[in-house]
Chain A
Amino acid sequence: MRATPTHLRPNKTCATLSVIAPAPASAALRPHCLAALPGAIGRLVLTALLLAGGAGSAPAQNIELPPGPGRALVYGRCRTCHDLQYVEESKGLDAVGWDGILDDMESYGVVLSPEERRKIVDYLATYMGDQPPPAPAAAASDQPADGAALYAGNCAGCHQENAEGVEETFPPLAGNDDLFLSKDFLARVILHGLSGPITVKGGQYDNEMPAFDHLSDAEIAALVAYLRSHFGNDAAAHPDLARLTAEDVAVLRAEEAGPEAVRALRDELVGKGR
């Protein structure tokens, strides 16, 4: 067997991946085990960043785009297959260029109404275009706090219009008791995201949902109410769970949490057997 250079020798105590961190300059690299770190993809990305001495570009999936009308649709529709770094790195395209990108995305399987498509192209051409963008529009929401519209614009891109999800990739939100795991669980998923292995209605998932904290408190409260009373969820409704208000969402928003913390909370709630 050929000797493996020390800095590439897999760390035996590390179950999944040996992570290589740089010593000063490009001298010997030290192996590290980061198996305890959350999220499969997060682990690989962390490896990569450590390799580059932390000099990588945006490590997180949650890339923030400049506020402006249409941004929420990009957040809702454009993170199904990839994160928004492709959009960020394409900044500077002109309107025709962005329109062409949308042609391509539609051929890959993005489903948009003509109205949604127009809003997305306008947003991208204005805020990610070849001209300096206008002064940031008030981050004020461009969506009415109407549950059905909020679901279509923000959630249907992954969980599908009928909320049945996509096998092995996006769990169903239809007929899903988990929406009633606790008063706050659903709002926490929306605010902070969710990541890691979960079982939903017998199906396995090990994926990541980004946070939707750009939605207002009132919007999140409206979404929660809508989801809990549609898609067959009313059947599972627990009358003893008090209605979640915008004020409740404001309190949850202030907590320090991420997709992993929400998963841990979920594990705990599921473990309690509801």
Chain B
Amino acid sequence: MIIHNAKLGVMETPLSLLREHYITPKEIMYIRNHFPPAGKQAWYGTTDAPAVQDWKIRISGLVVRPRTITLDDLKAMKQVKLVAVMQCAGNGRYYFSQKAKVGGGQWKHGGMANVEWEGVPLRAVLEKADVGPAADARWITANGADESPAPKGADLIKSFRVEDPFLDNAILALKMNGEPIPAVHGGPVRLVIPGYYGNMNVKWLSEILYETEESPSPFQSKAYREVKKPVKPGTFTVKDYNTGNSTPTYAFKTMSVIFYPLAEDRVKAGPVEIRGVAWNDGLAPITSVRVSTDGGKTWQDATIEGGAGPWAWQKWSLKTSLDAGTHDLRCVASDALGRSQPLDGTVAWNPKGYEWNGADLVRVTVA
């Protein structure tokens, strides 16, 4: 694993490990946490589920009947299962820094995982709670139990439009890969919004608020925002973000990576099967993955083998042959809405380094 912050256990998975499992096991799943729940620093030391007897989620804000629901209430409701990519909005940040340095952990491609979640649909929970939101409560804010070690510090909080169609597929997840969710991954209850970047999937969910405005928390208004229009290094800095020129890092951009071969693989000249995965926000199927073995001069269509549902990794492969020497392998995915990946991902350079989706580039030496 590649450590980005030992204190918080922040780390990414090398692709050489990630590729060994279609469903990413908890032991090697990337971790990105800001703060632990108060007094629970020890949760960071294990991939076990947290030892909690009960867990309460308060649903309130601009509502007539605020309610508190418990873990048992959630367990008693109908559960659904889905497989979805979990991906940090900063996944690939390192590649932006090749153009001009962006601050923060220099993640390569390993800030992602393909995971099976199980839980109760958010809409069903809200309907059952029947809190009676006011007509002008246009935002839903989700808050987790993490707490800043600074007494007046902000903690992670996220807001969504009440009618956001992505929330139709969201679940209050109680299980990951068939087991109670490990604390480091947000257990006992995590808001999972398939197709949305990791930070939107609030861990240790403890509060849902109906409000007229989005949360003023810096985690909504400053951190994890993507510029609306392309910007250039030097002319737009981290100081220039505001809620008008940027949006929260909500839905995944279309993306693909090569899993085999990687730079460290020993490849023999002759026939080879190039393999990888592609994914997007799940709104439309991945319809094409094109692969180049000569750095982008010529392209071949890979076979899309598909995956476990619209939000999961879509496996692809291409049988081809490679001569001895050095080859720059590339891949580009597109979906049925025509959403694809730029060959030069740095066209989307932004000072916070979010939402990288440039075409992968793997240099392999064939013997």
**Which A residues fall within an 8 A CB radius of B?**
2, 5, 8, 16-18, 20, 26, 39-45, 47-49, 51-52, 55-61, 79-83, 85-86, 89-94, 96-97, 99-101, 103-104, 107-111, 130, 158, 160, 166-170, 197, 204-208
B13 — nearest CB in chain A belongs to which residue? A51
A160, B11: Cα distance in complex, Å = 29
A204, B40: Cα distance in complex, Å = 10
A81, B154: Cα distance in complex, Å = 11
A92 touches B97 (CB 8 A): yes
- Shortest CB distance B4–A (Å): 6
Contact with A along B135-151 (1 / 0, CB 8 A): 00000000000011111
9 A-B pairs closest in CB distance: A109-B153, A40-B45, A168-B39, A100-B238, A48-B1, A109-B150, A92-B101, A90-B103, A107-B218
B16 touches A45 (CB 8 A): no
B222 touches A107 (CB 8 A): yes
What are 11 A-B pairs with beta-carbon distances under 8 A? A8-B25, A41-B8, A43-B45, A55-B2, A80-B150, A81-B153, A82-B7, A90-B101, A104-B222, A111-B152, A160-B151
A130, B101: Cα distance in complex, Å = 9
B19 — nearest CB in chain A belongs to which residue? A26
Which residues of the partner chain B approach A17 to less than 8 Å between Cβ atoms? 45-48
Which residues of the partner chain A approach B38 to less than 8 Å between Cβ atoms? 167-169
Which residues of the partner chain B approach A89 to less than 8 Å between Cβ atoms? 4, 104-106
A86 touches B105 (CB 8 A): yes
- CB of B5 within 8 Å of the partner chain: yes
A238, B266: Cα distance in complex, Å = 67
B14 — nearest CB in chain A belongs to which residue? A52
A56 touches B2 (CB 8 A): yes
Known: A51-B28, A89-B105. A41 touches B7 (CB 8 A): yes
- Shortest CB distance B220–A (Å): 11
B4 touches A85 (CB 8 A): yes
- Shortest CB distance A248–B (Å): 30
Residues facing A in B41-88 (CB within 8 A) are: 41-48
Additional pairs, 4, CB under 8 Å, beyond known A51-B28, A206-B42:
A20-B27, A107-B222, A169-B147, A206-B39
Quick one: which of A18, A166, A168 contacts B27, CB cutoff 8 A?
A18
A59 touches B46 (CB 8 A): no
- Shortest CB distance A255–B (Å): 23
A206 touches B41 (CB 8 A): yes
Which residues of the partner chain B approach A207 to less than 8 Å between Cβ atoms? 41
A99, B103: Cα distance in complex, Å = 11
A107, B223: Cα distance in complex, Å = 10
A8 — nearest CB in chain B belongs to which residue? B25
A92, B41: Cα distance in complex, Å = 31
Which residues of the partner chain A approach B20 to less than 8 Å between Cβ atoms? 26
A58, B104: Cα distance in complex, Å = 15
Which residues of the partner chain B approach A56 to less than 8 Å between Cβ atoms? 1-3, 11
B238 touches A61 (CB 8 A): no
A49, B7: Cα distance in complex, Å = 14
A205, B35: Cα distance in complex, Å = 15
Quick one: which of B6, B104, B105, B151 contacts A45, CB cutoff 8 A?
B6
- Shortest CB distance A50–B (Å): 9
- CB of B237 within 8 Å of the partner chain: yes
Known: A16-B46, A44-B45. A101 touches B3 (CB 8 A): no
- Shortest CB distance A31–B (Å): 10
A57 touches B150 (CB 8 A): no
Which residues of the partner chain B approach A91 to less than 8 Å between Cβ atoms? 101
A5, B238: Cα distance in complex, Å = 45
Which residues of the partner chain A approach B237 to less than 8 Å between Cβ atoms? 96-97, 100
Which residues of the partner chain A approach B16 to less than 8 Å between Cβ atoms? 26
A58, B7: Cα distance in complex, Å = 11
- CB of B351 within 8 Å of the partner chain: yes
B149 touches A80 (CB 8 A): yes
- CB of B324 within 8 Å of the partner chain: no
A206, B44: Cα distance in complex, Å = 11
- CB of B167 within 8 Å of the partner chain: no
- Shortest CB distance B108–A (Å): 12
Quick one: which of A8, A45, A107 contacts B3, CB cutoff 8 A?
A45
A100 touches B105 (CB 8 A): no
A104 touches B223 (CB 8 A): yes
Quick one: which of B9, B35, B105 contacts A81, CB cutoff 8 A?
B35
Known: A97-B101, A109-B148. A79 touches B27 (CB 8 A): no
A104, B149: Cα distance in complex, Å = 16
A103 touches B239 (CB 8 A): yes
Known: A43-B45, A103-B238, A109-B150. A49 touches B1 (CB 8 A): yes
A58 touches B218 (CB 8 A): no
B37 — nearest CB in chain A belongs to which residue? A168
- CB of B251 within 8 Å of the partner chain: no
Quick one: which of A52, A86, A168 contacts B2, CB cutoff 8 A?
A52
Quick one: which of B5, B11, B35, B153 contacts A83, CB cutoff 8 A?
B5
A104, B103: Cα distance in complex, Å = 11
- Shortest CB distance B183–A (Å): 11
B44 touches A40 (CB 8 A): yes
A93, B34: Cα distance in complex, Å = 22
- Shortest CB distance A170–B (Å): 7
Quick one: which of A52, A90, A158, A205 contacts B104, CB cutoff 8 A?
A90
- Shortest CB distance A186–B (Å): 22
A57 touches B2 (CB 8 A): yes
- Shortest CB distance A13–B (Å): 15
Which residues of the partner chain A approach B272 to less than 8 Å between Cβ atoms? none
A41 touches B3 (CB 8 A): no
- CB of B17 within 8 Å of the partner chain: yes
Known: A17-B47, A90-B103, A130-B101. A104 touches B41 (CB 8 A): no
- CB of B227 within 8 Å of the partner chain: no
- Shortest CB distance A57–B (Å): 6
Which residues of the partner chain A approach B46 to less than 8 Å between Cβ atoms? 16-17, 40, 43-44
